[in-house]
Amino acid sequence: MHSFKPPKPEMFEGKRTTEEVDSFVFHIKSYVSMMEIPAENQIQFLGTFMKGKALTWWLNAIKPFDNGKSLGFEHAISMIINQYRPKMAKELAEKKLRGLQMNKS
């Protein structure tokens, strides 16, 4: 057994930026994996890192899944991404990159 303990992920408040969502997803998935959180506890554990509007959304989002008991971790992560990651983030980034490349020519 190793003695390394990764830092806990920061609380997620539901900011709708690519950076905030991607950072939260990366840190929560890494922490769950590194700390070997059992599958049956992962959804409840995930919810403990939500606060404010994100927590209100989360509590309502898991109701149809027997309050999270019938929800898989990866599906829950997808729900968070779909709810909070800007819909056009990839397209906007590509458009911005194309604009930068055109200006260099």
Per the structure block, which two tokens stand in for 62? Answer: 């898991």
Cα separations in angstroms, 16 against 2, 7, 55, 76, 102: 36, 23, 14, 17, 29
Residue 105 has pLDDT above 80, yes or no: no
pLDDT in tens, 21-58: 999 999 999 999 999 999 999 999 999 999 999 999 99
The token duo for 13 is 């408040």
Q: What is the mean pLDDT of residues 65-72?
A: 86
Two tokens, residue 18: 């690519």
Q: Where do runs of H (alpha helix) occur along the chain? A: 18-34, 39-47, 53-62, 73-84, 89-104
Closest CA to 25 of 99, 76, 101, 100: 76
**104 pLDDT band (50/70/90 cuts)?**
low
The sign one gets for the Cα dihedral 21, 24, 27, 33 is negative
Give the position of tokens 């950072």: 23
pTM, full prediction:
0.77
